[in-house]
């Protein structure tokens, strides 16, 4: 049925055009939004904090960004660009086009030095679309390349067993480093792991640790039953953090390393992995800390909060209610997504919160939470509540705070609302609050700097009216 539907859609010329155009547009958006900054690499690379020998190398922290481009666009670029030779190399390394395509645009090897050709072919070997047949043709075109242990590791990482075996046969004498098996386990390529093991290659504890991180139970089991390197406590911790229950169970029942104190349950709870939390609670003795419920509250995992409340004694801290009120993801909490947790913590826990709860709920515009905290808690708020709500344009929150709270605001409320272009907030503050606290000239400058001319005109008109009212009527 699904196959028939696909063919019916694909035969429709209009739908086919829209489909491929959407793929093209999405690719451009992803390409432009991809972040290669150091902070993003660290976030994407879970092992950067371990300072281990493999991922400490910045080259391997980089996440490969796969680019989408139409074949006709490649041809157009090749024919219109003066740097056609460089475009030809992109067909090899960047896009890993099939030989039937590459052969029509591949120039004489004499146009490139051996280093440039070698770099393109090595990049091809590690591309997901690489094939052994095309590689053989490329080596016929450029036979004077060299391979090394790093290339073999990268090919193993890409999962190309046939290319790996071919390179080992062509470039004999190159030893496979332990990092090849380690990174192969991380990516879950069991067939390559088995091959490297049968070839008497070494690995380290990182292999099982990293396989556990990504939930590759088959690799974890293979390493356990066939290797002697073992793993570290990080294996169980990684599996728990990422919600891989089957791996957690296997490691708990078959390994003796255990896990690292209380981190496993804390992180599993923070990430919302209730089955992991339940398993660790019933089968491990490490326990958890208040960070478990705090993290679950912050990340809106209501089921985990309830479980910890009824099954653990560690409780939470004031950060739990503060964090639940603040939320963390506006699109969820603005719809009341965190309100059930706020209510639950209030009615079932006695840790309380601070004024940060109401301040932060106001800042992010979570009106249902603002109302609940105002009606049920005594911690109150500060002037920051209305200041931040004004700055972010949450007019309903500003109106509520004006009516039901007494803290008021500072001159920052008007200035930041004007700076950020929130005209309804500017009007409300101007009309409903004590005017002496506001520096209208500063607000006008802030609005003007950011191009919010409607606010500039509104405030200037009000100032002119005020000046007219202050002038004595001499007639």
pTM over 0.85: no
Q: How many CB atoms lie within 10 A of CB 347?
A: 8
- Quote the pLDDT of residue 37: 42
Low-confidence ranges of the chain (pLDDT < 50): 34-64, 328-337, 467-468, 471, 474-475
Compute the distance between CA of residue 224 and CA of residue 236 in angstroms, rounded to an integer: 13
Task: Tell me the helix, strand and coil percentages in the chain, rounded to 5.
Answer: 65, 0, 35
Compute the distance between CA of residue 121 and CA of residue 151 in angstroms, rounded to an integer: 11
- Quote the pLDDT of residue 194: 96
Alpha helices, H only, 130-258: 132-141, 149-158, 161-170, 178-187, 190-198, 206-213, 217-226, 233-241, 245-254
Q: Are 204 and 236 in contact (CB under 8 A)?
A: no
Which structure tokens are listed for 270? 């923070």
Q: How many CB atoms lie within 10 A of CB 155?
A: 27
What are the pLDDT digits (tens) for 308-358? 888 887 877 777 666 766 654 333 333 344 788 788 777 877 777 888 889
Q: Are 126 and 93 in contact (CB under 8 A)?
A: no
Q: How many CB atoms lie within 10 A of CB 52?
A: 17
* Dihedral sign for Cα atoms in the order 298, 302, 304, 307: positive
DSSP label at residue 200: T
- Quote the pLDDT of residue 387: 95
| Phi, psi (rounded to 5 degrees) for 250 | -65, -45
> Which residues neighbour 189 within 8 Å (Cβ) at sequence distance 6 or greater?
156, 157, 159, 161
Burial class (CB in 10 A: 0-12, 13-18, 19+), 50: middle
The candidate with the shortest Cα–Cα distance to 409, out of 393, 392, 426, 385, is 385
Put residue 377 in one of left, alpha, beta given phi > 0 → left and psi -120 to 50 → alpha: beta
Helix (H) or strand (E) holding 475: none
* Dihedral sign for Cα atoms in the order 89, 91, 97, 101: negative
- Quote the pLDDT of residue 57: 36
Query: How many alpha carbons lie under 13 Å from residue 289 in its C-beta half-sphere?
Result: 10
- Quote the pLDDT of residue 212: 95
């Amino acid at each position: 049925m699904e196959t028939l539907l696909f063919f019916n859609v694909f035969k429709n010329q209009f739908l086919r055009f829209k489909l491929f155009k959407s793929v093209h547009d999405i690719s451009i958006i992803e390409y432009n939004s991809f972040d290669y900054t150091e902070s993003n690499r660290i976030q994407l690379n879970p092992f950067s904090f371990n300072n281990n020998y493999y991922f400490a190398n910045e080259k391997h922290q980089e996440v490969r960004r796969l680019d989408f481009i139409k074949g006709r666009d490649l041809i157009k670029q090749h024919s219109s660009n003066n740097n056609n030779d460089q475009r030809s190399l992109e067909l090899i390394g960047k896009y890993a086009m099939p030989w039937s395509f590459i052969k029509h645009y591949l120039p004489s090897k004499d146009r490139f030095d051996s280093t440039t050709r070698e770099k393109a072919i090595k990049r091809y070997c590690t591309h997901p679309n690489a094939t052994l047949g095309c590689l053989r043709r490329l080596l016929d075109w450029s036979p004077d390349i060299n391979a090394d242990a790093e290339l073999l590791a990268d090919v193993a990482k890409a999962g190309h067993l046939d290319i790996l075996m071919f390179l080992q046969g062509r470039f004999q004498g190159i030893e496979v480093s332990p990092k090849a098996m380690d990174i192969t386990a991380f990516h879950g390529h069991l067939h390559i792991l088995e091959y490297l093991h049968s070839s008497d290659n070494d690995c380290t504890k990182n292999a099982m640790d990293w396989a556990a991180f990504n939930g590759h139970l088959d690799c974890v089991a293979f390493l356990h039953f066939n290797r002697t390197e073992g793993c570290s406590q990080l294996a169980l911790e990684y599996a728990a953090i990422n919600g891989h229950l089957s791996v957690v169970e296997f490691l708990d029942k078959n390994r003796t390393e255990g896990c690292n104190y209380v981190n496993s349950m804390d992180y599993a709870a923070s990430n919302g992995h209730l089955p992991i939390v339940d398993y660790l609670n019933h089968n491990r003795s490490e326990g958890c800390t208040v960070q478990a419920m705090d993290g679950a509250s912050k990340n809106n995992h209501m089921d985990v909060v309830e479980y910890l409340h009824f099954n653990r004694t560690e409780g939470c801290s004031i950060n739990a209610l503060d964090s639940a009120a603040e939320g963390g993801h506006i699109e969820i909490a603005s719809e009341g997504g965190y309100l059930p947790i706020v209510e639950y913590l209030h009615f079932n826990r006695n840790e309380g919160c601070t004024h940060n709860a109401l301040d932060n709920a106001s800042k992010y515009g979570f009106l249902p939470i603002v109302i609940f905290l105002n009606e049920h808690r005594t911690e109150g708020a500060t002037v920051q509540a209305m200041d931040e709500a004004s700055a972010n344009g949450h007019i309903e929150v500003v109106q509520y705070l004006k009516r039901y709270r007494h803290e008021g605001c500072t001159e920052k409320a008007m200035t930041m609302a004007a700076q950020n272009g929130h005209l309804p907030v500017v009007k409300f503050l101007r009309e409903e609050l004590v005017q002496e606290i506001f520096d209208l000239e500063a607000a006008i400058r802030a609005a003007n700097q950011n191009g919010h001319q409607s606010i500039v005109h509104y405030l200037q008109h009000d100032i002119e009216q005020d000046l007219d009212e202050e002038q004595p009527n001499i007639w």
